[in-house]
Structure 1
Amino acid sequence: MSVHDHPAPPTRHLRVRGERGHTVLEFHGEIDILAAMEIIPYLDSATARPEPRIVIDLRPVEFFDCSGLRLLYRARRRVLEQGGELRLVCTRELTLRVLRATGLARLLPPSASLDEALSLPEAASGSL
């Protein structure tokens, strides 16, 4: 199963689309353990190919717990193993606090907009 075979996955928690050579995974609603279980197959598909260019957009997220953090760490590990780049978009203050408190914001600096994330040079994309 390829992400490109499923531009609109059958889950209310995820939308997948291509944009400027990147695969954008837009998380929606409450990202908890049930949502994570729905998202994992699509996240794994998007990060399985060589040199994936992934953007995870958290702006539509209303709730984000440790399950969401595990998704981000999983995506980062898989992307780095494939020699790709991962970028993050996040503007919600509560989610940003969680990212900062766990140190993930240092590993994967969040952008304030999709345009900003897509415009980052590769060295600033969390691919180090």
Structure 2
Amino acid sequence: MKKKEAIFIASILVIAGILGLGFRISGQRSHNTIRITVDGKEFGTYSLSKDQVIHIGDTNVCEIKDGKVTMIEATCPDHYCMKQKAVDEHGGSIICLPNKVVIEGKDSAEPSESDDSPKIDAVT
């Protein structure tokens, strides 16, 4: 192998390593808040750092404890929402379909959408 070939291969590996590291860092988002919606309307946004119990209307109760949120009470017949995995800083969601309640991890570092920002609405 010639000297120029070795330098070319080494530079490709360095560039690939830098790009890989950049993608890994940008992919690690922290979801330190949750957003609760009821029937598609926002009920509230809550921090995962504060332990609390949230009464969602007359139908559901969720609990934020130790940086995780779980559904602890629900009036739905099957209680699948209470069996779903807790939402934590890695994200996730809890959905109570009969009561139309959705709890989802929200990335607080995401830029908020404003009326000025362009909306992409296309199917290709």
TM-score, normalised by the number of residues in structure 1: 0.23
Instruction: Select the structure that is richer in strand.
Output: 2
Instruction: Specify which structure has the higher proportion of helix.
Output: 1
TM-score (norm 2): 0.24
Which structure has the greater CA radius of gyration? Answer: 2
